[in-house]
Amino acid sequence: MLGYIIRRLGVAVIVMIGVAAITFAILHYLSPTPAYTVLGSKTTHAAILSWDKQHGYNRSELVQFLSYLGGVVHGNFGYSYKLNQTVSALFKENAGRSAYLSGAALVLSLVIAVPLGIAQAVKRNSPGDYAATALNFTLYSMPSFFLGLILIQFLALDWGIFPPGVSDTVTSTWQAIVHPQQLFLPIITLSLLNVASFSRYMRSSALDELAQDYIRLARAKGLSERVVLTRHLLRNACLPIITLVGLSIPYLVAGNLLIEVLFNYPGLGLLFYNALQLPDYNVMLAYTLLGALLTVLGNLIADVAVATADPRVRLD
Amino acid sequence: MRFKPSHRTGAGRLWRLRLISLAVALAAVAAVAVSVTGASSAKNTIGHAAANAKAVPIDGTLLTGTLPKSGTARHGGTIVAGQLTGQTPTNIDPIINGATCSTDTFQFVADMYIPLYYGPSGATPAIDPSHSAGLPPVYSNHDTTVTIKIKPGLKWSDGSPVDGQDVAFFYYILKAATNASPSNWCQYASSTQFPYNVKSISYSGNTVVMHLTHPVNPTWFTYNQLQDTNGGVYPLPATDWNVNSSGQKLNDWATNPTDALAIYNNLNNTNGADSLAQFATSPLWKVVDGGFKLQSFNTTNSSYVLVPNKSYGLSPKPTFTYDDNTYTSETALLDAMESGSVEIGQLDAGTQLGSIPTLNRDGFSVFGAPEWGWFGGFINFKDTTNHFNKVAGQQYMRGVFAELINQKAIVSGVYHGWAVPAYGPVASAPSSPFIPSNATKQDWPYSPKKAVATLKAHGWKVKPGGQTTCAKPGSRKNECGPGIPKGTPIKFVWANQPASAAATGVLESEAFASEAKRAAGINVEFQSKTFGYLVTNYNDQNPAAKQYFNDWGVNNYGGINTDYYPTEDGIMNTTGALNLGDYANPTANKLMIRSTVSPSKASIAREVAYFSKQQPVLYFPVQDWITAVSKKVGGTTGGFLQMTQQQLNAALLWVNK
């Protein structure tokens, strides 16, 4: 397995360089230099040329790209001139909050979706199953911001149970953790959407497993239904969920852009959204790279986790 | 002067799940559809999509909504205001560099440092003497010498007086900074304007004397150089800030440009005192003369808390804490206001008017008035696609475009009354103290019939609803114009911000395009780009944007926050920094120069009238800047009226008893 992981990591490096090259090329096509954005509308041609020279934008695109990659290797993702901070500092500051938001939503959705999916499979075609299926399809087809707007309208503005957005006092990951009421709406919005997806997979997988001989055997041995479901069914039925969770890892840090914008939550998604508006190319480039890295790693982790959980799967 | 995005903030927004908002939006879309289907009178083109708000004249402007009551001040308390992501302050030094230049940064700075000349005065685009550090300047020697006295009694928070040396300190540090790079000061205009039009400066006590390089129009110099919409001159604490990054005192800043630059670099050292994390802690920024001093600054989103500066020398003296919180969108800000966590916030005219009854019920006063400056689409005089540079180069053609813009209907149908028509660089409100009202008259009244007749008279084969083409090429009076070949269509690309970011900008563009197509066979192809993209890439003045010259015909990103003395100098002169479409007109250049150097008060009126006739951009109505203020907040009438000019002077507010 170690050889497999090393090979995959090698491929990941190539993928990352490819993503970096494509993103770099697109951004350079859109604007060969950020000088005008940085220097402001009243700058002069001479000032732009001087700035370009000072910051290496007068070199060929290939040299600039290799120089950027060299910086990335040393943890230097450039500088956000608009936000007056290094990109690394910005990411360091925002990543924890995004990870907490997505992580909490992921855990909550698993806690709800796994038992719900199994219950639906066990009681399939019952009124409860139909009701849960209808609700899941409704949530599944709903854009995240739309669900968020509905929750804000009812739970915040009409009934005043939760604040409509995260307050400015939540400036660190720790404060996000200790202010659960502030984070309730964004976490529940993300969770409900994940529940809709996860529970459908869980239901389908559990249905397949329930038809297997080992379940029939467990029941024939006289084991209680609780033991059959928790000791025998659960691990096998969760295999597709492991893959889904692995694929969700990019969201852990790359953030949930729309949710962060909607709920005024300062994370990486919001940072990227603002970078698009300004535009702030170094932030956009770093965010895309981070997204690519986490996607590759998420896939790898999912594969390894499935192989660990299911002895039938071999990684060669 | 600065760019202003068409919905003012540059940040995006999401639609609210509000039936009223939805109804307003649908009604606006339906109204535009009406214009597409053929109504042609001013009454019918856009229709009455919603009940329109009525504006009343007050303090030289047209106020819509209800101004908050002054109330009775109590000592202490907190006022929470909302600001929007994308424009939030990222600099604290009053010499603001190009990268961190935004209206909110200027406001942040002006809360802590008193500008030499502060503006506006209520809603009027003029200096407010009572909130300026300087007494009115005195011009002498044929307008080549300016004598300024600092108001007696003004003090820095360390107890030292604010005096003439502090103004000189600003001048020398600024000059060293702009010598190093013009981008070190975002108000830099050219090598012939401030600080370069000041030959030398002398000071004694509270008096500072500027000796200019040439005679100037005193109003222009006072307003557009010294005041510069609060981006101009600030007295700076010369005896506190005269240090380099090693903390070494440098007292020869007036005579040693190297040391002056070292001081500037220390003030703008992004790894040191000027990094966001140091704003609230660096000893440099503890010395203030404004109404407030900084208590805390959130490096994540630029929210900040200000507390009263006990040494503030002007009145009223604030006693409350001012807490400016950042919100990701206008929707999030509105939610915060409705849930009672924010007391002052702005509304978007395109999507949030439906929330006004709810806000009123919750104790908010909602009011707005047109802000100073203009909105419109820059015409690209370098776009050779379909010979558009030659087509738009004809003055009669730009007149035709103007005649197809039904401004009154747009004010009514798109803005529901929260805007005023603007037929040139100066809108009908707020009124300018420097030009007569007839300079804002309409030279090209809305008239599709007249537009078609003009086209026909100039040799165009007009196909209403189809594609109009040039039938008679040539330079004579009844021909299309020089450089326009036979068969040339009137067809061009029109770039807007996305509707999600600037709904009203899109709607008014569509109103024009549908009228132009239906009545005159002029075809507009829309593009949607972000504000940053539009001002950076669809900008003929940006040397790095050459590849885009032929990609756009009109850039309707928003408009320009002009200086209070309304010359277009720096905007419309050839190679002017904000001249996005590369409009080049020698007569206009001469008129602009005359506005800045001639002592004649008539010169600026002539310039404004000329641009109204020339239509170098497609002018659109100036929308209101709409603010909601909770009944918890009191203040001076002038303080509330200033909010219509995007200026929230916290020192003019208080917490009500």
Give B199 to chain A, closest Cα distance, Å: 22
* Cα–Cα distance measured from residue A176 to residue A160, given in angstroms and rounded to the nearest whole number: 20
Task: Say yes or no: A104 and A200 in one domain.
Answer: yes
* Cα–Cα distance measured from residue A264 to residue B531, given in angstroms and rounded to the nearest whole number: 21
The model's pLDDT over B420-436, given as tens digits with 9 standing for 90+, comes to 999 999 998 999 999 98
The model's pLDDT over A261-282, given as tens digits with 9 standing for 90+, comes to 889 888 898 888 888 877 788 8
Last residue of a domain, one of A86, A112, A141: A86
Last residue of a domain, one of A86, A111, A133: A86
Task: Say yes or no: A142 and A6 in one domain.
Answer: no
Give yes or no for residue B87 having a pLDDT over 70: yes
> Which CATH number characterizes residue A124's domain?
1.10.3720.10
Domain membership of residue A57 as a residue range: 2-86
Give B13 to chain A, closest Cα distance, Å: 9
Tokens of A56: 């290496």
Evaluate whether residue A316 is within a structural domain. no
Task: Say yes or no: A66 and A148 in one domain.
Answer: no
Confidence (pLDDT) at A240: 86
CA torsion, ordered A296, A299, A303, A305, to nearest 10 deg = 100
Q: What does each C-alpha distance from B435 to B367, B473, B565 come to in angstroms?
A: 26, 40, 9
The model's pLDDT over A189-199, given as tens digits with 9 standing for 90+, comes to 999 988 998 99
Evaluate whether residue A314 is within a structural domain. no
Query: Taking the CB of residue B136, how many other CB atoms lie within 10 A of it?
Result: 11
Task: Say yes or no: A270 and A139 in one domain.
Answer: yes
Chain A partners within 8 Å of B335 (Cβ): 152, 156-157, 164-165
Task: Say yes or no: A211 and A292 in one domain.
Answer: yes
Task: Say yes or no: A48 and A96 in one domain.
Answer: no
Which pLDDT band, with edges at 50, 70 and 90, does A254 fall under?
Answer: low
Task: Say yes or no: A20 and A95 in one domain.
Answer: no
| Domain B377-624: top CATH class | alpha beta
Check CB contact of B22 with chain A, cutoff 8 Å.
no
Task: Say yes or no: A118 and A207 in one domain.
Answer: yes
Which pLDDT band, with edges at 50, 70 and 90, does B23 fall under?
Answer: very low
Evaluate whether residue A9 is within a structural domain. yes
Residue B533 to residue A279, Cβ atoms within 8 A: yes
Q: Is the ipTM of this complex over 0.95?
A: no
- Answer whether B64's CB lies under 8 Å from B53's CB: yes
Chain A partners within 8 Å of B188 (Cβ): 42
Tokens of B153: 């009694």
Nearest to B339 among A40, A42, A157 (CB): A157
Find the closest chain B residue to A270 by CA distance: B328
Locate the domains of chain B by residue range. 93-101+110-278, 377-624
Tokens of B357: 């009854």
Burial degree of B89 (CB within 10 A; 0-12, 13-18, 19+)? buried
Q: Are strands B491-496 and B523-528 parallel, antiparallel or unpaired?
A: parallel
Residue B301 to residue A168, Cβ atoms within 8 A: yes
The model's pLDDT over B284-313, given as tens digits with 9 standing for 90+, comes to 999 999 999 999 998 878 899 999 999 999
Task: Say yes or no: A62 and A134 in one domain.
Answer: no
Task: Say yes or no: A197 and A289 in one domain.
Answer: yes
Give A313 to chain B, closest Cα distance, Å: 45
Evaluate whether residue A297 is within a structural domain. yes
The model's pLDDT over B609-650, given as tens digits with 9 standing for 90+, comes to 999 999 999 999 999 999 999 999 999 999 999 999 999 999
Place of tokens 């000072």: A54
Residue B341 to residue A40, Cβ atoms within 8 A: no
Chain B partners within 8 Å of A142 (Cβ): none
Q: What is the DSSP letter of A146?
A: H
Substitution target in A38, A157, A264 with the highest count of B β-carbons within 10 Å is A264
Evaluate whether residue A315 is within a structural domain. no
Substitution target in B80, B542, B555, B573 with the highest count of A β-carbons within 10 Å is B542
Confidence (pLDDT) at A93: 86
Residue A164 to residue B338, Cβ atoms within 8 A: yes
Alpha helix stretches (DSSP H) within chain A: 2-30, 35-39, 45-54, 61-73, 87-122, 127-140, 144-151, 173-178, 180-210, 213-220, 225-227, 234-237, 239-254, 257-262, 268-277, 281-309
Chain A partners within 8 Å of B183 (Cβ): 38-40, 42-43, 47, 51
What pTM value is reported for the model? 0.83
Task: Say yes or no: A169 and A24 in one domain.
Answer: no
Which of the two residues, A45 and B562, has the higher pLDDT score? B562
| Beta bridge partners of residue B209, listed in sequence order | B147, B202
Nearest to A37 among B91, B326, B536 (CB): B536
Residue B276 to residue A146, Cβ atoms within 8 A: no
Confidence (pLDDT) at B576: 81
Domain count for chain A = 2
Task: Classify domain B93-101+110-278 by CATH number.
Answer: 3.90.76.10
Evaluate whether residue A279 is within a structural domain. yes
Last residue of a domain, one of A65, A86, A107: A86
Chain A partners within 8 Å of B21 (Cβ): none
Task: Say yes or no: A77 and A104 in one domain.
Answer: no
